[in-house]
């Protein structure tokens, strides 16, 4: 919670004063009662006291005053709400090098776990789909609101083949293009591709040609590199090159996305979690002044009614 006029919170200093006055009045009341010399007779005259009920109206009265004083400072809450219809295509590299174990348990298993994390973080109204690519790209889960089916599809991935990054971008963008209007910058439909790879494009469509198509369709491509920087890796007795970070940076820059790199499963999971928490969400301020005024007034009235009902006077 934040306040549009925080300097007015100084009024809350009245609350400790009211509490002190109430405690002082209760101590004086007890002091007057003790003046009776015959305490047994006092007990018979007074009967059973009201106990905690005696203090409840005063507690409600002070709480209501506190609520009203808070409302003067114009409180507001920061909340996140979905921004229109969110559509995300995950593009996951399933080339042979994704079987490498430098990212535990393997690169492909880390990618599967991270993809599921991202899906869980998306808004409830989001649609998500899955494209896999090695020597060619293939849609194995079209855009759907059934996020569970896409998470299940992720669990079927197995590495093998080359790396066709350009084709993956083209196929993913084609899935999203029919729900976006490239001529409208204010469209309520929000589309994005999240592409993960551990290598460099070595077959199929040129990746920058595909990136230019994504830019024209106003679909940003978030690129994620995984593996080891600036070094080769042994996979099943074969030497494979590391991720082409320069190419991934160019793709993301061209399309309006960002490039991320993960050297281990924890970094990859964090990247996907943060992406899922941002994609399709907008942060807004909710003014709480009126609700707090209403709540404070209700509490004040409740305290007054209890006091009148039990003690025939206001707190």
Q: In the chain, where are the structural domains located? A: 2-78+285-311, 84-279
Residues comprising the chain, all counted: 315
Least confident range of 116-125, 184-193, 243-252: 184-193
Percent of the chain with pLDDT over 90: 40
Asked whether 32 and 90 are in contact (CB, 8 A), the reply is: no
Q: What is the pLDDT of residue 204?
A: 86
pLDDT at 145: 92
Q: What is the DSSP letter of 230?
A: T
Please give the pLDDT value at position 44: 55
pLDDT of residue 50: 56
Neighbouring C-beta atoms of residue 63, cutoff 10 Å: 17
Residue range 272-309, pLDDT digits in tens: 998 888 887 777 788 889 988 999 899 988 888 887 77
Those residues with Cβ within 8 angstroms of residue 139's Cβ, 6 or more apart along the chain or in another chain: 129, 130, 131, 171, 175
pLDDT of residue 137 exceeding 90, the answer is: yes
- Sorted by sequence, the CB contacts under 8 Å of residue 232 that are 6+ apart come out as 239, 240, 241, 242
User: What is the per-residue pLDDT for 84?
Assistant: 74
Which of 163, 242, 257, 238 shows the shortest CA–CA distance to 204?
163
Q: Which pLDDT belongs to residue 46? A: 52
What's the confidence (pLDDT) of residue 156? 92
The average pLDDT across 127-143 equals 94
Q: How confident is the model at residue 234 (pLDDT cuts 50, 70, 90)?
A: low
pLDDT at position 209: 94
Q: Average pLDDT for residues 216-225, to the nearest whole number?
A: 94
Beta bridge partner(s), residue 195: 91, 223
Rounded to 10 deg, the angle between the 245-255 and 165-177 helix axes is 20
Q: How far is 304 from 298, CA to CA, in rounded Å?
A: 10
- Give the residue among 282, 127, 265 at the shortest CA–CA distance from 196: 265
Mean of the pLDDT values across residues 221-229? 90
Q: Say whether pLDDT at 146 is over 90.
A: yes
Q: What is the pLDDT of residues 6-50, one digit of tens each?
A: 888 888 888 888 888 888 887 777 666 555 555 555 555 554 555
Per DSSP (E only), the strands in the chain are 2-3, 75-82, 85-93, 127-133, 137-144, 189-197, 221-226, 233-235, 238-240, 259-262, 281-287
- Distance in angstroms (rounded) separating the CA atoms of residues 213 and 162: 22
pLDDT digits (tens, 9 = 90+) for 61-104: 889 899 898 998 889 988 777 677 889 999 999 998 898 888 88
**Which of 144, 93, 156, 94 has its CA nearest to residue 119?**
144
Contacts of residue 10, defined as CB under 8 A and 6 or more positions apart, other chains included, come to none
Looking at the DSSP bridge assignments, the partners of residue 260 are 224
pLDDT at 236 over 80: no
The dihedral built from the CA positions of residue 65, 71, 75 and 79, taken in this order, carries a sign that is positive
CA distance 101 to 109: 10
What is the sign, positive or negative, of the torsion defined by CA atoms of 116, 118, 123, 125? negative
Average pLDDT on 237-263 reads: 88
CB 269 within 8 A of CB 111: no
Which whole number is the average pLDDT over 215-226? 94
Lookup: tokens for 99: 């079987």
Look up the CATH number of domain 84-279: 3.40.50.410
pLDDT of 192 reads 92
């Amino acid at each position: 919670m934040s306040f549009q006029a925080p300097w007015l919170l100084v009024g809350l200093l009245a609350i400790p004063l009211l509490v002190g006055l109430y405690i002082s009045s209760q101590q004086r009341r007890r002091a007057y009662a003790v003046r009776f010399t015959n305490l047994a007779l006092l007990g018979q005259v007074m009967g059973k006291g009201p106990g905690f009920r005696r203090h409840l109206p005063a507690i409600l009265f002070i709480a209501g005053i506190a609520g009203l004083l808070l409302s003067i400072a114009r409180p507001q809450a920061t909340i996140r709400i979905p921004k229109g219809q969110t559509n995300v295509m995950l593009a996951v590299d399933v080339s042979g090098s994704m079987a490498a174990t430098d990212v535990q348990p393997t690169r492909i298993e880390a990618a599967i776990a991270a993809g599921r994390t991202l899906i869980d973080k998306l808004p409830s109204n989001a649609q998500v789909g899955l494209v896999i690519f090695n020597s060619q790209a293939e849609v194995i889960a079209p855009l759907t609101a059934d996020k569970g089916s896409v998470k299940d599809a992720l669990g079927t991935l197995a590495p093998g083949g080359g790396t066709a990054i350009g084709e993956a971008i083209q196929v993913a963008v084609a899935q999203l293009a029919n729900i976006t209007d490239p001529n409208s910058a204010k469209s309520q439909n929000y589309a994005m591709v999240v592409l993960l790879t551990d290598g460099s494009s070595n077959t199929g469509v040129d990746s920058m040609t595909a990136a230019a198509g994504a830019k024209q369709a106003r679909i940003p491509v978030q690129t994620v590199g995984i593996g080891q920087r600036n070094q080769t890796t042994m996979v099943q007795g074969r030497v494979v090159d590391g991720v082409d970070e320069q190419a991934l940076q160019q793709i993301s820059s061209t399309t309006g996305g960002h490039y991320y790199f993960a050297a281990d499963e924890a970094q990859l999971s964090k990247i996907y979690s943060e992406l899922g928490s941002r994609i399709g969400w907008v942060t807004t301020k909710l003014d709480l002044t009126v609700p707090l005024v209403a709540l404070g007034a209700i509490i004040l009235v409740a305290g007054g009614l209890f006091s009148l009902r039990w003690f025939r006077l206001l707190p």
